[in-house]
Amino acid sequence: MKRNTWQREAVRDALGSNEGFVSAQGLHQGLREAGSSIGLATVYRALADLATEGEADSLQSDQGESLYRACTPGQHHHHLICRNCGLTVEIEADAVEAWAHEVASDNGFTQASHIVDVFGLCARCSASPAALGHGA
């Protein structure tokens, strides 16, 4: 466990104030606009540490950029993610859990893990005429 510094706390707080996934650069920009002197490299390190410790989820965007979101530590979960606005909802998926363990076992695998993120359009974006042409 890394020690808590003001920079790490600033990144944790900023990450927690976002509804969806955010890039390190986007988070850094928000921190700078709020008056923080934190450096971009420090934001990247803090996000990587938070993800390693289970305090943040990470995924790769369609462009290959790492995106991060604060999460509930110690709880395995999955996400519904809006492709348009980035709204993210943590969900439980018992059927997915059972399927993953069954498939692993059937193929002789042990200690299996998995990541499931479901992408779509949230209700607000689905109702927006601009989002309808967004590959829904």
Residue 85's pLDDT is: 83
For 52: left if phi > 0, alpha if psi spans -120 to 50, otherwise beta; the answer is alpha
For 27, counting Cβ atoms within 10 Å of its Cβ (0-12 exposed, 13-18 middle, 19+ buried), the class is buried
Question: How many residues make up the chain in this entry?
Answer: 136
pTM of the model: 0.69
CA 27/CA 40 separation, integer angstroms: 9
Cα–Cα distance, 60 to 76 (Å, whole number): 19
Would you state the pLDDT for residue 136? 43
- 108 contacts: CB under 8 Å, gap ≥ 6: none
- Whole-number Å distance between alpha carbons of 37 and 125: 35
Quick one: pLDDT at residue 48?
Answer: 92
10-residue stretch averages of pLDDT, the chain, 136 residues long: 81 90 94 95 94 87 86 78 84 87 95 86 86 53
| pLDDT for position 54 | 84
* pLDDT digit string, tens, across residues 76-115: 778 888 888 888 888 888 888 899 999 999 999 999 888 8
**What is the pLDDT at residue 47?**
95
Closest CA to 42 of 12, 73, 64, 1: 12
